Structures are given as C-alpha cells and as structure tokens.
Structure 1
Amino acid sequence: MARSSWPHRAPALAVTVWLTLACSFSLCLALGALHLASPHTHLHGIIYTCRVALGIDAPSSTRANYAGYVGAGAVGAALVVTFTICVRRARAIRKRHRRVLDLVGRRSAVLGATVLEHAAPTAYCLPGYRPRIVVSRGAVELLSSKQLGAVLEHERAHIAGRHHLLLAASQAFAAVFRGLPLASVMREQIPLLLEMIADDRALRRTGRNVLATAMYEMATASVPDGALGVGGHGVAVRLQRILIPVPSANLAMLCCIATAAMVVPLLPVLVACPPSLALSTTFALLPL
C-alpha cells in the first residue's frame, strides 16, 4: 500500500483499505487472545474443522477461560476508549476556537465562511458539531474569486466527508498499537489521502491550474489544532498529482481491491469462529 501508486489515483478506496486492514488486525489479535487462553474451547472455524478431520483434536466441553474473553475485550475496549478520547479532545479544542472566532471573526454570507481580520493568508475548517469554514482577510485579498471558491470547496469536502472522524480512527489505532508498522504508516498516509479526496471534490468545480495556484499560495498557511486546511499534508505531492495527472486506475483492478477490502475483515472470523457465529458475523459485516 505505501509503495503502490494506485492509492493516489483512488484515495477514497485507499482510505477504506487502510481501515479494513486495521480492523482485520484488531480482530486477529482479539481472537488470538481467546485461542491462547483456552485453545480447546475457542479453536473453531476452519482451524477446528481441519484438526477434527485429521483426528488431531476432539471437541472439548471444558468451561471457557474467562481470561481469553478479558484479553479479547481489552483490545476492543482500548480502541473504543482511545478513539473517544481523540474525538473529545479535538472537539474541545474546536469549541474553544469557535468561541474566539465569535469574538474576532466576521460572518460572510457571500462566502459562507467566517472572515478573520488577519493579513497572513490562511483558510481552514472546523468540522464536527457546528462546522465552520474560516478564511483570513489576507487570503481573500490574495486569491482570485475562482481560487477562493476552490479553497472553500476543498474545506466543504472535509466537513461533508466527516474526515475528522477518520483521522481520529487512525490516531486511535496508532496510539493503541504504538510501534506497529501498520499503525505508523497508516497514520502518515490517511491525512494525505483525505486531502487528496478534498482536492478531487474541488476539481469537480474548478480547473486544475486554479486549484494548483490556490494551493501554492496557501502552502505556508498555518492550520490550528483540530482543523483541516487546504495547505495541509503533502502539498508538494498533491500539487504534482494535480498538475501532472496520471491515467485513471484500471476499473477491474479497483473492483478487485474493493472486493478484497470487504473480505479481509471477515477472514479472521471465518478462520477462528464457530460456523454459526462466523456466518452471522459475515452477514452482519457485509452491509458495512
């Protein structure tokens, strides 16, 4: 994933694949805890069927070892609690920032944004509850009307796509599994891919040169904590992607990747769970 070129051609699908890989790893770890704690009780699915067929093992009726359930539950609880902390922390930062904007900002109905009386060009959005787009007076004076429209469309894409929740998910996974290559690379890649998704939405309403020049002008703009801005991650890579467009990814390949992304989280369940639980879990996860 990190070395491939297709994620930059289909950033939305790439974000989905990263998240499904994280989900699959978490399931593997949780089910592994069950197997290590009480293998005779929890060894089911394909592994269990093969062992019984070969006569290596027989069904066991021993009582489940609750340590396995505690270990499996701890994995899910750690992810949920860390995700909640990341979301609440960012929400508190944005809430304080909104209070400041109410005092020093000026609402512009024409732009649909809050304008700050600041000479330095900057533009960003505060997603989540009561979302808000913020631009400085310097940005309004520096950019043309088309460039400013492209910047505003970029910020609207972040808000509409709830990109702050995806960022929080990657941060939570990286915090729980600190030092894991999957977690560290995923935390680096997802912010860049989310910016590319917002770039693609802005390109639907404006030309490539317009967006590229706007990004170049705003490349050094600072973005406060908890906010998302057009001058965010990987400006140089994104500029190259916009100015030197590459052919679209092969549709058949994208379909295969999307199918694999749906199957990957189901593999641990099919391999390690009882047939009835595996079947019910599979049907429960397919709509997602």
Structure 2
Amino acid sequence: MNAAPVLLGYAALVGAAAPRLLLRSAWPHRAPALAVTVWLALTVTFVLALALASARLATPTEHLHAGLVGLLHACGVGSGPAVPGPGTAGRLAVVLPLLVLGGWAASVLHRLGRAGLLRARHRDRLDKVGAPCPRLGVTVLPHAVPGAYCLPGLRSRVVVSDAAVRLLSPRQLDAVVEHERAHVAGRHHLPLAAAEGFAALFRRLPLARHVRGQVALLLEMSADDRALRRHPDAVLATAMYAMAAGRAPEGAFGAAGASPAVLRMKRILGPRPTPHPALRGALASAAFAAPLLPLLVACPPGV
C-alpha cells in the first residue's frame, strides 16, 4: 500500500486542525512548559510526515528503506551482498526528504545564529555603557523607561534599566530578575528558535502562523511560574504593570513588551488550577508519540 496519501492527510490534520484545537483549549495556560513541548512536537511530526510522504510519492511500490540502501551500496557504503544501484525514483526518494529536513534544519540554525550574533553585539555595548550590580547579579543600563530583559546562551546576562531600579520595590525587582533568570536557566531561546525556524519555512500553514507567538507566550508564562515559586502573585503582577512600556532588544527575552502582558497579569492574579495528572500524562505521551507516527505509517513493523 502506498502510504503517501495517509501521510499527507496526517500532515494536513497536524498543520491545520491541531493548532485550532490547542488554541481553544484551556490547559496550555495551566501547564505552559508542557504546552511548549506539544507545540514543538506538532512541528516535528509535520516535517517528518511531509518528508516521508515525498519519499513514498517518489517510490510508491518500494519499501521506504530500499532506495536508501541501494544508494549507500552504489556509493560503496554498507556490507552484505551488492544490490542494484538506485534509479532516478530511488534517488528522489532520498533527495526529497533530505531537502525537506535540511530546509527545516537550516531555517532553525539560521535563527539561532542570527540571534546569537545580535546578542553578542548587544553584550559588547553593555560592557561599555552598563554597570554591574553585584547584589542582584545583573547589569544596570541607563535608560529612561523601566524595563528588564535577558540575553540567553553563551555569556548570558540579565539586564535591568536604572529607571526600573528606581521605580520598583526591592521585592518587585527580585521577582523580575527571577523571571529573567528562568529564561536563561531554561534555555528558552532554543525552543523559540525552533518555532521561528518552522514558521519561516511554512509561512502560510496555520500551525506556522500560530506556533511562534504561542511558544513565546508560553515561555513567558513558564518563567512567570518559576518567579511565583519565590514571590507573591501581586508582587510580580504589579512589577509587570510598572514595566509595561518596556521593550527588549531583538534576540533577547523581556519581562514585558511583545508578549500579551495583560493576559499574563490576569493569569498571575487569577486562579491557576493545574491539569489533572492523568491529562498531563496523556498529553506528554502524545507529544512523545506524535513524531513516531509518520515513521510507523511509512515503514510499518514486519513489512
């Protein structure tokens, strides 16, 4: 059986229907870290389904690994009895999936590299104009607008404007700094780059249109949750309100600004029931299994 129609149908379901279901659900804001995993799992399973469907379209009558094995033997790689070299269809069955996977990987790496360069340049500027604050473990930047952000990755840095230092109380300032440290400790720039890379490659896909914004928002909520472990709800919410006008530079995470701050403040001040453990387990299992489904469809066991 040619699995290409099934794989393409699965990709369409993941790319169009799954995002709508997630956007209508309440649980992602209750378990933001898990929701980030689910969003990224959808991008991975979509790319794999598309890559495998292209391979099956090229060789509808052959087993999936036949073209790859034949190509390896033709290149002198592999052991066992020689097999005929792959024909044009067999080569396409290898090249087309590699183009899909390679394009996806290149898009993600481009976002990581570009953001890394922007952060490196910004750190150089901070070394010239910023002042270290040993008590908070941050860099204080002269700026008239209260704000805070972090530069994750190598030589990570948490930056607070001197206006924020003057405006916020010590408890509010500690809560904001804890929020930024959560971004650094969680390496939140990596899942964000993965979402941005997917969104850039499949621009018109509903999943691509939503994944970047949703992952960014959920990462902010996840950092909020870490800050709330040590600080009262009202302290963090009032600090966010005071810094609502702040904007983080490109490549950085900010405590306010691009993400919907009002939505986050309502979440912080309102009830935050956690999903039932059974639901969390089912969602985590689904996120783990989703990338495997295209492989099972394209190359079922025992075939």
**Same fold by TM-score greater than 0.5:** yes
1:175 correspondence with 2:200: yes
Aligned-pair CA distance for 1:2: 0.9
Matched letter for residue 181 of structure 2? R
1:143 correspondence with 2:168: yes
Residue matched to 1:284: none
Matched letter for residue 164 of structure 1? H
Q: Structure 2: give runs of 5+ residues left out of the alignment.
A: 1-21, 66-83
Matched letter for residue 292 of structure 2? L
Percent pairwise identity: 54
TM-score (norm 1): 0.87
Supply the distance in 2 between the matched residues of 1:226 and 1:74 (Cα, whole angstroms): 28
Instruction: Please state whether the residue corresponding to 1:39 is helix, strand or coil.
Output: coil
Residue matched to 1:250: 276
Matched letter for residue 194 of structure 1? L
Aligned-pair CA distance for 1:274: 5.3
Pick one of 248, 258, 261 that aligns with 1:235.
261
1:103 correspondence with 2:103: no
1:26 correspondence with 2:47: yes
Aligned-pair CA distance for 1:80: 1.0
Give the 5 Å matches for 1:131-210: 131-210=156-235
Supply the distance in 2 between the matched residues of 1:227 and 1:42 (Cα, whole angstroms): 46
Which stretch shows the higher mean deviation, 78-87 or 115-124?
Answer: 115-124
Moved over 2 A (4+): 61-64
Matched letter for residue 164 of structure 2? A
Q: Is the 8 A contact 1:41 1:62 kept in 2?
A: no
Instruction: Please state whether the residue corresponding to 1:40 is helix, strand or coil.
Output: coil
Supply the distance in 1 between the matched residues of 2:271 and 2:98 (Cα, whole angstroms): 46
Matched letter for residue 162 of structure 1? R
Q: Structure 1: give runs of 5+ residues left out of the alignment.
A: 45-60, 279-288
Q: Is the 8 A contact 1:79 1:173 kept in 2?
A: yes
Q: Is the 8 A contact 1:15 1:190 kept in 2?
A: yes
Supply the distance in 2 between the matched residues of 1:157 and 1:136 (Cα, whole angstroms): 19
TM-score (norm 2): 0.83
Supply the distance in 1 between the matched residues of 2:180 and 2:216 (Cα, whole angstroms): 14
Q: CA RMSD in A?
A: 1.6
Matched letter for residue 18 of structure 1? W
Residue matched to 1:4: 25
1:66 correspondence with 2:87: no
